[in-house]
Amino acid sequence: MNELKNDRYLRALLRQPTDVTPVWMMRQAGRYLPEYKATRAVAGDFMSLCKNAELACEVTLQPLRRFPLDAAILFSDILTIPDAMGLGLYFEAGEGPRFSSPIQTIADVKKLPIPDPEQELGYVMNAVRTIRKNLQGEVPLIGFSGSPWTLATYMVEGGGSKAFTKVKKMMYAEPAALHLMLEKVAESVTSYLNAQIKAGAQSVMIFDTWGGVLTGRDYLEFSLHYMHKIVDGLIHENEGRRVPVTLFTKGGGQWLEQIADTGCDAIGLDWTTRIDEARQRVGHRVALQGNMDPSILYAQPARIEAEVQTILAQYGQGSGHVFNLGHGIHLDVPPENAGVFVESVHRLSEPYHR
């Protein structure tokens, strides 16, 4: 299980030399691919797709059949942990995820269990094992979780939110309740990611989608503090290799130095932070992942290529850059445009690695 035919993604995360800049896309397995829609129709609904190891493996591998991507990412959802804690995850048509039993009081928080990753979340580990086997060492497999803060927003709001008033009310009016919840979620995320690593994930990523809605002070106290705890608790070596960890806070460009202080191997950037400035600030300490605006993929091929060239030139010579979008690929992007993007990264990045 140890031999990797293409390890440039893992090498770049550890800032080791690579032949070209590796590339993968957030949400690369998803609704922009007709074959994904067909598989999801077979599964019946989104969570049934997540819980079927063979189908989750199939959709994980679909983008790799189309594009020469340098990594596969586990097909799952960030809300698997709150679901396993008994909050009753369901999906409302056109509305996204919802919880039937959101957290409202400290009594609710105290009742939250820490799920066993091989029991309540065993279906995720089955998917990891199945995908890893089927990848046959072609590229590394990325495991992931949501950050404690981001998961807490859904758990308290009962679903997605624009203003985050319920969770911020808890943060300001009952901080002890929120800290207790974040403590439990951080413990759950740590054991969940470690179980993914034992099952075969070769790198892990923490998605802090909503960290950017916080003030600087609150980000450090309610989001980054708990991601730091997770980084400290992770298995950092498995199968004779380092297991790199990437932290991604959407809207987190102002806190790069503090994110690097956690001891993570890489920081994910969204498109609002220039990659040259990020490299100047933290590039000698961590690798950088990012950071093209996903909406560029609506453009003509020449415009997509120009954007790739711009970002490569901004990053400059040497390793330590994993090319990615600044957030997930949009569901109505033509797949051939994603193909232009991936091909351009490999072709245009070669001179930067000589």
Q: Which is nearest to 140 in space by CA: 319, 347, 322, 331?
A: 322
Which of these ranges, 4-13, 89-98, 185-194, 274-283, has the smallest mean pLDDT? 89-98
Confidence of residue 3 (pLDDT cuts 50, 70, 90): confident
Is it the case that residue 222 has pLDDT exceeding 60?
yes
Q: Mark whether 9 is an active-site residue.
A: no
Q: Which residue has the tokens 């403590």?
A: 183
Is it the case that residue 236 has pLDDT exceeding 80?
yes
Pairs from 88-91 (Cβ < 8 Å, separation ≥ 24): 89/47, 91/45, 91/46, 91/47
What are the pLDDT digits (tens) for 285-343?
A: 999 999 999 999 999 999 999 999 999 999 999 999 999 999 999 999 999 999 999 99
Choice among 31, 66, 129, 274 that is catalytic:
31
Q: Mark whether 98 is an active-site residue.
A: no
Q: Mark whether 27 is an active-site residue.
A: yes
Q: Is 280 annotated as a binding residue?
A: no
Confidence of residue 121 (pLDDT cuts 50, 70, 90): very high
Confidence of residue 2 (pLDDT cuts 50, 70, 90): low
Q: Which residue has the tokens 């020449």?
A: 302
What are the pLDDT digits (tens) for 39-70?
A: 999 999 999 999 999 999 999 999 999 999 99
Q: Mark whether 241 is an active-site residue.
A: no
Separation of alpha carbons 274 and 292, rounded Å? 10
Is it the case that residue 30 has pLDDT exceeding 60?
yes
Q: Is 209 annotated as a binding residue?
A: yes
Reported CATH class of domain 22-287: alpha beta
Q: Is 11 annotated as a binding residue?
A: no
HSE-up of residue 348 (Cα within 13 Å, Cβ side): 22
Q: Mark whether 36 is an active-site residue.
A: no
Contact 269, 306 (CB under 8 A): no
Q: Which is nearest to 64 in space by CA: 139, 127, 1?
A: 139
Q: Is 306 annotated as a binding residue?
A: no
Give percent above pLDDT 90 in the chain: 97
Q: What is the pLDDT of residue 93?
A: 77
Contact 58, 75 (CB under 8 A): no
Q: Is 31 annotated as a binding residue?
A: yes
Q: What is the pLDDT of residue 19?
A: 98
Q: What is the pLDDT of residue 114?
A: 98
Choice among 77, 108, 116, 218 that is catalytic:
77
Q: Is 212 annotated as a binding residue?
A: no
Contact 60, 53 (CB under 8 A): no
Q: What is the pLDDT of residue 290?
A: 97
Q: What is the pLDDT of residue 53?
A: 98
Q: What is the pLDDT of residue 283?
A: 86
Displacement of CA 80 from its chain's centroid (Å): 14
- Count of beta carbons in the 10 Å neighbourhood of residue 89: 22
What are the pLDDT digits (tens) for 71-109?
A: 999 999 999 999 999 999 998 877 789 999 999 999 999
Choice among 9, 32, 36, 154 that is catalytic:
154
Q: Is 236 annotated as a binding residue?
A: no
Q: DSSP readout, 80-104?
A: HHHIIIII-EEEETTTEEEESS---
What mean pLDDT value characterizes the chain?
97
